[in-house]
Amino acid sequence: MQKKRHGRSERLAEKWKHNYKKHRELNHRIKEVGHDILSSPNFRSTKQHIQHGNITVNAHCLSVARYSLALSRKLGVVCSEDELIRGALLHDYFLYDWHEKDEINPHRLHGFYHPGRALGNASKEYELTPIEMEIIRKHMWPLTPVPPMCREAWIVTMADKWCSLMETLHIHKGHGATVVESEKPKQEKKEN
């Protein structure tokens, strides 16, 4: 009985080691291809905004890039990995907090409009390829009437839906948004 339990924990440890190695390898590839995006001030600013649950937009985009890459390799889809990764990193590059509802920016139709906003922002900063544009433009399908027209966009669309579900159900957990120093509530000074 003890031997059996020991065998099970060994298998679990092996599985954990395998997943950890895979995760590291995928992250390494993403950094290799998207280092300019990952280190840019605008992309880093997405750590200040929550996407779903307690996951930031930044963590969500990294997660979608990782799942897209893993899915394409698992299914053996012949596609451009570089464009897949860069498109996934920029797919939610809308750069605002969609939970904040004020009169100027109600973000009521965020689901429909943010791919266009993301594409506009990304085009200003990066020379996007037609595949990267298609990924960003169509990732919210079926909210976009025309479906994705390339494999890379289909993969990111599927990975995005899976990650969004996991985040909304709090199965994927994060640390919440980064608070900007200037936005911290000021502490009242105690008078002696």
Nearest to Fe ion of 92, 152 (CB atom): 92
Q: How far is the CB of 113 from Fe ion (least distance, A)?
A: 10
The set of residues, in sequence order, having a beta carbon less than 8 Å from that of 131 and lying 6+ positions away, is 80, 83, 84, 87, 150, 152, 153
Residue with tokens 């939610």: 92
Q: Which of residues 94-123 bind Fe ion (CB under 5 A)?
A: none
Question: At its nearest, how many Å lie between Fe ion and the CB of residue 73?
Answer: 20
Site map 3..42 versus Fe ion, x via CB under 5 A: ----------------------------------------
Contact 160, 91 (CB under 8 A): yes
- Least separation in angstroms between residue 33's CB and Fe ion is 18
Contact call for residue 160 and Fe ion (CB under 5 A): yes
Single residue of 83, 92, 132, 134 touching Fe ion by CB under 5 A: 92
Decide: helix, strand or coil at residue 179.
coil
β-pair partners for 56: 50
Residue 117 near residue 123 (C-beta atoms within 8 A): no
For residue 164, the minimal CB distance to Fe ion (Å) is 6
How many other C-beta atoms are found inside a 10 Å radius of the C-beta of residue 124? Answer: 9
Q: Does 167 bind Fe ion (CB under 5 A)?
A: no
In this chain, which stretch among 6-14, 91-99, 128-136, 172-180 interacts with Fe ion, using CB under 5 A? 91-99
- My answer on whether omega of the bond before 185 falls inside 30° of 0, hence cis, is no
CA-nearest of 100, 133, 106, 105 to 119 is: 133
Which residues sit at the interface with Fe ion, rule CB under 5 A?
92, 160
